[in-house]
């Protein structure tokens, strides 16, 4: 499965969250660190869901880019 992850750069750190898995979030000092941490968080979350017999939600979110003319 492939889940959409949203990465956000803050003033002093990076954050990430997964829209299809509420509560799966992480922060780190760098984008590389937060990428590793969100991968671990997703795996841990899904493992817990499986152990509890819960259905794994299918990925349904996607991200896109919208280009805006700064002169407009």
- The predicted-structure confidence for 3-62, as pLDDT tens digits, reads as follows 999 999 999 999 999 999 999 999 999 999 999 999 999 999 999 999 999 999 999 999
Q: Name the pTM for this structure.
A: 0.88
Q: Which residues contact 59 (CB under 8 A, 6 or more apart)?
A: 1, 2, 3, 4, 20
Q: Please give the Cα distance from 17 to 30 (Å, whole number).
A: 15
- The predicted-structure confidence for 41-56, as pLDDT tens digits, reads as follows 999 999 999 999 999 9
């Amino acid at each position: 499965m492939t889940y959409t992850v949203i990465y956000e750069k803050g003033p002093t750190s990076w954050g990430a969250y997964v829209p299809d898995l509420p509560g799966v979030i992480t922060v780190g000092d760098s984008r590389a660190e937060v990428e590793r941490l969100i991968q671990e968080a997703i795996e841990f979350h899904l493992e817990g869901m499986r152990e509890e017999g819960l259905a794994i939600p299918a990925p349904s979110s996607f991200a896109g880019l919208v280009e805006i003319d700064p002169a407009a």
